[in-house]
Structure 1
Amino acid sequence: MRAYVIISSTSTIDGRIASKDSYSELSCKYDKIRQHVLRSEVDAVMVGANTVRIDNPSLTLKYYPGKNPLRVIVTDSGNVDPNLRVFTLPPATIVYTRNNTDSLKELAIKGVIIRYFSQICEIITDLYSNFSVKRVMVEGGGRLNWSLVKDNCVDEIRLTVSPRIFGAGISIVEGEGFIGKISPNFQLHSAYICQCGQEVILNYKKTDKKD
């Protein structure tokens, strides 16, 4: 058994979540509220280490009331700054890594939970089995999204399309890519125009997901 995984992201028309200079402010106020409503509905929110390095988020609820979810950081290298906002406790934070570093030892002293993994879907299973996490919201970035999609651990994608075009930068899914005919197929579940009148909200679910 594993947790249900929802990728939640806002991209440009050309599918970028950040520009070549790392600009990523794409959401209108309604989109930010939607993101925080989803945060309030899940048990954990997951991001990659590069996202916390660049954006330094707190990953807590700001635009909607509720209980803060467990925060999950994924890092291959284990090289993360212990002074980042996401490591200010509470709420609880877990770092999943493939390496042991001095910064991780410092985080453990602060109360951050350190776990090790080899395959990305092991994280989703571990969260379910050991932390009672039933639903995970993934807020990217592109490489983490790619790893989860590649290993078939994504059940749903909630995507807001912003009216910008970057032309280069980070894609919502950033990896070596699939052969076209055998690429994963998601089914459109809903689509509507945002209250701001400028963004489109798309909801996709995995076609082979059984309820």
Structure 2
Amino acid sequence: MYVIIFSTITIDGKLASKDYYSELSCKYDKVRQHILRSEVDAIMIGGNTVRIDNPSLTLKYVHGKNPIRVIISNSLNFDINYKIFNTPPQTIIYTSNNSENKDFENKIKEKGVIIRKLDNFNICNVMNDLESNFNVHKVMIEGGGKLIWSVIKENCFDELRVTISPRVFGNGVSLANGEGFLGKNSPKLDLEDVKICECKEEVHLIYKNRNKIRNL
């Protein structure tokens, strides 16, 4: 399993403002994002991203096969009318065995959406299940901040690709929005590539995680 985190953030490391504004990408960055979508088997997002952005997660700026869409949710608190549940391709929701929303579960299964409940519900186990049961070998993590934090905390990613947008939010949702590491225990990534965007206002960075847990 190969896992790539992709995000566009402000100079001060926020992927959304305090009012959840997140339109940071230029047209070239959007193309970069969709090229990567076309190269992976699955795109993964958190439940808040579904509720706030209502994305379809399909290819728009390049041609290719749409990847499977994967949602990580603790609550199953969704409206069945969200785009991701009503347009192809396949959508899979991962949650814990303790999560229960029978009305939603019954209605969403009628739409062909798969719900996977795991005893030990964490991101690394989700990755293993995707590979074992859905033939997924390459995953793109698109956010939000809580999901990205979990992926980094569990150390189950290979790359971080981040575009720096020329904005400063001061407050909002951080790239990795969690309890945080103690300074000495924080992961250190290896810079692989730096590119000034074609728009001349953004910088795209690629980091490699040499210490990923290798049981994925």
Q: In the alignment, which residue of structure 2 is the partner of 1:108?
A: 109
Where do residues 147-166 of structure 1 align in structure 2 (5 Å cutoff)? 147-166=150-169
Provide, for residues 185-207 of structure 1, a one-character-per-residue CA deviation record: whole Å limited to 9, x for no partner: 11000001000000000000102
Aligned to 2:81: 83
AA of the residue aligned to 1:189: E
Q: CA RMSD in A?
A: 1.3
Which residue number corresponds to residue 120 of structure 1?
A: 123
Detail structure 1 runs of 4+ shifted over 6 Å in the superposition.
Answer: none
Deviation at 1:210, TM superposition (A): 9.8
Kindly, what percent of the aligned residue pairs are identical?
Answer: 59
SS in 2 for 1:139: strand
- The unaligned stretches of length 5 or more in structure 1 are none
1:85 is displaced (CA, Å) by: 0.2
Q: Identify if the C-alpha distance between structure 1 residues 21 and 184 changes in structure 2 by more than 3 Å, giving closer, same or farther.
A: same
Q: Deviations over 1:21-47 (max 9, x none)?
A: 110000000000000000000000000
Counterpart in the other structure of 2:175 = 172
SS in 2 for 1:138: strand
Counterpart of 1:63 in structure 2 is 61
Report if the CA contact (8 A) 1:79-1:104 is conserved: no
Conserved 8 A contact 1:19-1:166: yes
Q: Secondary structure at the match of 2:44?
A: strand
Distance 1:109 1:210, change over 3 A: closer
Contact 2:156–2:212 (8 Å) recurs in 1? no
Change (3 A) 1:190 1:150: same
Task: Provide structure 2 residue ranges, at least 5 long, that are not aligned to the other structure.
Answer: none
Q: Distance in 2 between matches of 1:4 and 1:123?
A: 13
Deviation by residue 1:94-128 (Cα, 9 ceiling, x = unmatched): 00112121212211111101001322211000011
State the shift of 1:182 in Å: 1.2
1:80–1:104 contact (8 Å) kept in structure 2: no
CA distance in 2, matches of 1:172, 1:105: 34
AA at the equivalent of 1:136: V
For 1:64, what is the secondary structure of its paired residue? coil
With structure 1 as the length reference, what TM-score do the two structures score? 0.96
